[in-house]
C-alpha cells in the first residue's frame, strides 16, 4: 500500500527528500502545507517545484478522511464519524468552551479494555490507528474549528481506545502535533488519558515531553477498581498509584486523576477516606466525571447534590477536585459514549 505522508516525522521526510535528490529544507515547507495551511493534496503546495509535487503524488497518500457523519450538539460540540480505508469507523470531537477549543481524538479502532461503564469497549477492539490516522483527525477538527473562527487550543486523547496501548504511533503523532513546524500545540495543552498501563506510564516519563497525563482511576481501592476496570487485575490499584508517584517525581508534572461518579458505586463516603489515603504525597488533582448513561450497563448518575457533597468532602480532606461539565451529550459525544453505532 502507498504510505501516507502523515506517517513521517519531519526528520523522516527530510531523509526521503534526500533519497530522491530534493533539498531537505522542502520538508519544512511540506510540513507547513499539511499541518499549518490545511493542504489536503500536493497540488496545493505552490512553492514546491512541480516535479517534486508529481513525485510526492506518486510516492505518498495525502487526502482527507471520508466523513461518514458529522453531528453538532446544542452546546456547539461537533462529533465526526470517519470511515477509514478498511471501513473501520472512528470518532473525533470538537469541544468549544469559553476559554478553549479542544479536539478529542481516538487512538484505536475499538477498545480492548472493557471498562464496565464505557461504550467504547462494547464492540471489542479492531486495531491500532496509525500516526497518520491520529494526526488527520486533528487536521479535520482544526479545520472545523477555524470555520467557526476558533483556533484549536487543546488536544485530549480521550476518544476511543487506549493511547498508551498504541505507544509508538501516539508518540510520533504527539511530536507532530506539538512541533512548531507541525500543528504547533503546546505540550501542556495536550492531555494523554490512560486506563493505567503501568509500564507505559514509566516509559512516558522517560520521553521528556511536557504533556499532561490523566489517569482513569474510577475506583478508590483495589476491590472497587476491580469491579469496574478489568485492567486492574493486571495493573492493580497500588501499583498504578506507585507508578504515578514515580512519574511525578521524575517529571515534576502534576497528574490528573479522572474519577467517574456512579451512584452508590464510586460516589460514596467510604471512597473519600480511601482516596485521601492513596493520594498522600502526590501532586495531583481530581477530575470528577458524572457518569454518562450507557444503556448496556444500568448504572445511575448521582444527583447534583450528591456529586457536590462528594466534591466538597474531597476538598475538605485536602484533595483538589472539580466536577467536569458533560458536553455533547445529546449527540452521544460525551465521555465514554463514543462507539461504533453503525457497526451492528
Residues of this chain that bind ligand SAH (CB under 6 A): 115, 117-118, 158, 162, 193-195, 216, 218, 258, 260, 289, 291-292, 294, 335-336
Q: How far is the CB of 229 from ligand SAH (least distance, A)?
A: 8
Nearer to ligand SAH, 212 or 258 (CB): 258
Q: How far is the CB of 147 from ligand SAH (least distance, A)?
A: 26
Nearer to ligand SAH, 189 or 339 (CB): 339
Residue 221 near residue 237 (C-beta atoms within 8 A): yes
Nearer to ligand SAH, 5 or 191 (CB): 191
d(CA 253, CA 44): 41
Nearer to ligand SAH, 141 or 158 (CB): 158
What is the 3-class SS of 1-44, one letter each residue?
CCCEHHHCCHHHHHHHHHHCCCCCCHHHHHHHHHHHCCCCCHHH
> 111, 131, 284, 335: which is the annotated catalytic residue?
335
Q: How far is the CB of 275 from ligand SAH (least distance, A)?
A: 15
Annotated active-site residue 115? The verdict is no
Q: How far is the CB of 61 from ligand SAH (least distance, A)?
A: 27
d(CA 133, CA 84): 8
Q: Cβ atoms within 10 A of the Cβ of 300, count? A: 13
Residue 188 near residue 209 (C-beta atoms within 8 A): no
Nearer to ligand SAH, 286 or 335 (CB): 335
331: closest CA among 87, 71, 36? 71
Q: How far is the CB of 195 from ligand SAH (least distance, A)?
A: 4
Annotated active-site residue 91? The verdict is yes
Strand partners, 256: 214, 285
Q: Compute the residue count for the chain.
A: 344
Q: State the number of CA atoms in the 13 A half-sphere of 136 facing the CB.
A: 27
Q: Which residue is nearest to ligand SAH (CB)?
A: 336
- For 241, the enclosing helix (H) or strand (E) is helix 237-251
Cite the active site residues.
91, 335
Amino acid at each position: 500500500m502507498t504510505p501516507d505522508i502523515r506517517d513521517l516525522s519531519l526528520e523522516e521526510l527530510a531523509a526521503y527528500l534526500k533519497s530522491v535528490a530534493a533539498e531537505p529544507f522542502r520538508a519544512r515547507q511540506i510540513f507547513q502545507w499539511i499541518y499549518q495551511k490545511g493542504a489536503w493534496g500536493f497540488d496545493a503546495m505552490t512553492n514546491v517545484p512541480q516535479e517534486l509535487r508529481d513525485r510526492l503524488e506518486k510516492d505518498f497518500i495525502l487526502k482527507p478522511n471520508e466523513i461518514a457523519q458529522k453531528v453538532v450538539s446544542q452546546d456547539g460540540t461537533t462529533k465526526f464519524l470517519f470511515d477509514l480505508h478498511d471501513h473501520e469507523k472512528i470518532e473525533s470531537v470538537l469541544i468549544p468552551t469559553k476559554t478553549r477549543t479542544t479536539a478529542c481524538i481516538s487512538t484505536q479502532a475499538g477498545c480492548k479494555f472493557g471498562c464496565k461503564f464505557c461504550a467504547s469497549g462494547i464492540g471489542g477492539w479492531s486495531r491500532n490507528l496509525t500516526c497518520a490516522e491520529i494526526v488527520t483527525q486533528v487536521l479535520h477538527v482544526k479545520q472545523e474549528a477555524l470555520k467557526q473562527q476558533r483556533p484549536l487550543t487543546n488536544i485530549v486523547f480521550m476518544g476511543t481506545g487506549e493511547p498508551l496501548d498504541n505507544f509508538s504511533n501516539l508518540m510520533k503523532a504527539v511530536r507532530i502535533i506539538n512541533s512548531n513546524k507541525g500543528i504547533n500545540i503546546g505540550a501542556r495543552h495536550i492531555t494523554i488519558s490512560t486506563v493505567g498501563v503501568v509500564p507505559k506510564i514509566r516509559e512516558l516519563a522517560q520521553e521528556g515531553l511536557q504533556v499532561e497525563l490523566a489517569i482513569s482511576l474510577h475506583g478508590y481501592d483495589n476491590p472497587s477498581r476491580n469491579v469496574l476496570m478489568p485492567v486492574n487485575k493486571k495493573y492493580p490499584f497500588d501499583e498504578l498509584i506507585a507508578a504515578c508517584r514515580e512519574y511525578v517525581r521524575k517529571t515534576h508534572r502534576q497528574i490528573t486523576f479522572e474519577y467517574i461518579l456512579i451512584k452508590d458505586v464510586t460516589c460514596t463516603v467510604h471512597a473519600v477516606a480511601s482516596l485521601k489515603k492513596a493520594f498522600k504525597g502526590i501532586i495531583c488533582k481530581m477530575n470528577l466525571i458524572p457518569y454518562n448513561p450507557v444503556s448496556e450497563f444500568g448504572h445511575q448518575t448521582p444527583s447534583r447534590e450528591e456529586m457536590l457533597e462528594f466534591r466538597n468532602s474531597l476538598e475538605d480532606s485536602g484533595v483538589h477536585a472539580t466536577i467536569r461539565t458533560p458536553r455533547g451529550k445529546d449527540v452521544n459525544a460525551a465521555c465514554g459514549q463514543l462507539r461504533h453505532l453503525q457497526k451492528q
